[in-house]
Structure 1
Amino acid sequence: MKLQHLGWFTVVIVTLASAWVMAEPKANQPTIVVTTSPVIREKRIIPIKTSGRLAHAKETRLSFKTSGLINRIYVDEGETFQQGDILASLDLAEINAQVNSAESNVAKAKRDLARLMDLYKKNVIPLQQLQDAQTAFRLAESELKIATFNRRHSIIKAPFNGQVLQRFTEENELINSGTPLLTVSENQNSWVVKVGLADRDIVKATMQDPVKLSFDAYPQTAFTGKISKIAAVADPKTGTFEIEVSLTNPPLLLRSGFIARVDILPKSTQQLAFIPVEAIVTAKGKQAMIFAYDPKTSQVSEQWVTMNSLLNKEIAISNGLKNISDVVTDGASYLKDGMTVQRITDSTEKELSQYSGL
């Protein structure tokens, strides 16, 4: 019974209290009416509660192989493209010149090799000179392959059908080799939420553990997923272990960057004690103070307990409730250690219900 519902009890209790004062010694007089709740001890799956950022399952940063001046960027953020489309290109004047120079070197090395081959056959030059010409020809061919490769990767082509998520630079800017130009995602309705877990939680998580998720954009919709990836080492910057939760074919439109509230449901269960949230009088970190009720003496005692997690309207307690069967809920904030109280039972409620019309 909630405290706000006890208003009409006050008149009754005051009346009864007056009678008790006349009939019993003051030391035995109950001073406060409380409600209690039994301590439930059982094994349950305790969710690991955290949050993470939503992203496409496949996101790729695209960049040029070589440095140069950006000539054209053909797409902007939010635009879609097809596999093979040209997304951006460098000014190829310098790169084409490098290719032409490499082609000329190959042609010269080929002529030199042919001439020295004839001279070697006529025993005019030694074998070493011919071998040097062969090596020079192979080096020239390798340089041509490098220049041709660089020119091919001075144009960014779409690796798949997808969408542009981010664009980091503009046309006519000078860009270094490997600097990201675009972030793109593949056009698939497949998403992941990236979450960082502390070491105390990562040991509880296993692959394919079910996960419940929610987004502020859709507060009335529940999403589900599974753990698809668990990092082997901690992130050196945060000290947490990153996991990925996969969502396949979600029922509503999602966007990369949404923040998700995540409840991981590990396969392992824990034996814990559970009490109502209303039993908590005060808390400091993981420690909370409650009042335990002794049915034999009708007295309450102050107890500090260790909270494990919050589950809807219950608190999971990992330590501090040994040999305690009941805790005070309504009325706990008015108590002191060792006080004698009057507990409202089902029979008491029935007796007092006749005064509900007053």
Structure 2
Amino acid sequence: MKTNKIIVGLFYLPMFGLLSCNPQEETTPQYKTIQQAIFASGHMEQEDEYIISATADGTIREFSIREGDYISKGQLLVRIDSDVSNTQLQEARVVYNDAKQNSSANAPQLEQIKSQIDQSKTQLNLDKINYQRYADLRKKNSVSQLEYEKAELQYKASQSSLQVLEKSYKQAQDALQLNADRSLQQVKTQQAILNDYSIQADKDGIVLEVLKKKGELVRKGEVIAKIGSGKNILKLFIAEDDIAKLSIGQEAIVQMNNYPDTTFTASITKILPAFDEAAQSFTVEAAFVNPPQLLLSGTQLQANIKQQGTKKVLVIPSAAVIRGKYVELKNGEEKEIKIGQKSGNWVEVKQGLTEKDIILLPKGKSKEEGVAKPGGE
């Protein structure tokens, strides 16, 4: 009987249209037998999406990318003002060049010690000759024991003096080299800091979103742009009580917001094992069998993942749904509902309505509108 009432109401609509400029068609929820399917909402994204962030504080001096641009690995994307860092690098290089010069073999400090070593070697050679002469004379008893020992002590003192100078040279050389190495490390550090002011692409890809512009002040860590690369994938969010019903290779009928009147066939390629706390659902990935011509990362979509068998569910015309989750009742009140799978121009109502409710379709809409045509075949 309820169905008859709807038909009668529809029968008189043309007559009512003579009296009203923009009549709103009335309908009531009804039960229909539809192919069983798991409903999932989701979006398009690329296989590998990443963000580029400011690696230093400063003002963006160069900004060479726009949304939709294709970029290559190593390409300069953003350069942040680096005058201070440039100055610090130049100062570090000056210090390093001085340290490097001072650690060379002809450095003044080392040259001075080398001169002392040469003098010490000359003195040692003289003292050695004198000691050997006194040793020979002592054997002949031509000099006293005291004179011999005095020559011996002088020779040993010269040996010790040379050793001290050679050790001093080595220590000075090591210290100067260490200073040069530290100065070089400081140059490398300043160069690395300067490199942070130039942001390059990690890999080939496309610019999905630009969040900053030339001349804008950025802080370290702030997101500048979003880059995508790799294949386009469908990311679908599945309710906790439905995830066990899915398997790799299952077919999904997809309707995208930028192709509202067309459906596309996709196949599940991956079922992620972890529960997504942020989305409060499980996540699966799918790929189009024959993708639409235009694929845009971030496009919102809905999918019905086919299951075996049929079921009887409460449905309303999909044209009656406002802003994705509301319907307008006959008394003018907007009521929030929970929708399930879609079947043609009908959508399942999981919660919020009964058969007794009378709802209004938006002005200019009819139950026959919104039938999605298959595409991508």
TM-score range, shorter chain: 0.5 to 0.7
Is 1:94 paired with 2:84? yes
- Match runs of 1:118-137 below 5 Å: 119=113, 122-123=165-166, 125=168, 130-137=173-180
RMSD across aligned positions (CA): 4.2
> What is the aligned counterpart of 1:77 among 49, 56, 67?
67
- Match runs of 1:1-358 below 5 Å: 4=4, 47-81=37-71, 85-114=75-104, 115=107, 119=113, 122-123=165-166, 125=168, 130-186=173-229, 190-247=231-288, 250-265=291-306, 276-277=312-313, 312=343
| Shift, 1:256, TM fit | 2.3
Distance 1:213-1:278 versus aligned 2 partners, 3 A rule: closer
Gaps spanning 5+ residues in structure 1: where? 8-39, 280-308, 317-331, 334-358
Does the aligned pair in 2 maintain the 1:213–1:262 contact within 8 Å? yes
Distance 1:138-1:78 versus aligned 2 partners, 3 A rule: same
CA–CA distance in structure 2, aligned partners of residues 134 and 108 of structure 1 = 11
Q: Which AA in structure 1 matches 2:224?
A: L
CA–CA distance in structure 1, aligned partners of residues 299 and 98 of structure 2 = 59
Q: Which AA in structure 2 matches 1:197?
A: I
Does the aligned pair in 2 maintain the 1:163–1:184 contact within 8 Å? yes
| Shift, 1:71, TM fit | 0.8
| Shift, 1:83, TM fit | 5.2
Q: Which AA in structure 1 matches 2:103?
A: L
Gaps spanning 5+ residues in structure 2: where? 8-32, 118-164, 316-339, 349-354, 357-377
- Number of matched pairs: 247
| Residue in structure 1 matched with residue 29 of structure 2 by the alignment | none
Larger relative contact order (C-alpha < 8 A, sep ≥ 6)? Answer: 2
Q: Which AA in structure 2 matches 1:264?
A: I
Does the aligned pair in 2 maintain the 1:64–1:155 contact within 8 Å? no
| Shift, 1:131, TM fit | 4.4
Structure 1 or 2: more helix by fraction: 2
- Give the match's secondary structure for 2:215: coil
Larger Rg: 2
* Residues 262-319 of structure 1, C-alpha deviations (whole Å, 9 max, x = no match): 22357xx6xx8x554479xxxxxxxxxxxxxxxxxxxxxxxxxxxxx868599x9xxx
CA–CA distance in structure 1, aligned partners of residues 218 and 257 of structure 2 = 38
CA–CA distance in structure 2, aligned partners of residues 158 and 83 of structure 1 = 5
TM-score (norm 2): 0.52
- Give the match's secondary structure for 2:220: coil
TM-score (norm 1): 0.55
| Shift, 1:254, TM fit | 2.4
| Shift, 1:123, TM fit | 1.6
| Shift, 1:2, TM fit | 9.2
Q: Which AA in structure 2 matches 1:4?
A: N
* Residues 80-99 of structure 1, C-alpha deviations (whole Å, 9 max, x = no match): 45555433211231221122
Does the aligned pair in 1 maintain the 2:37–2:341 contact within 8 Å? no
Distance 1:69-1:216 versus aligned 2 partners, 3 A rule: closer
Does the aligned pair in 2 maintain the 1:195–1:244 contact within 8 Å? yes
Q: Which AA in structure 2 matches 1:67?
A: D
Does the aligned pair in 1 maintain the 2:36–2:311 contact within 8 Å? no
Q: Give identity over the alignment, percent.
A: 23
Distance 1:140-1:253 versus aligned 2 partners, 3 A rule: same
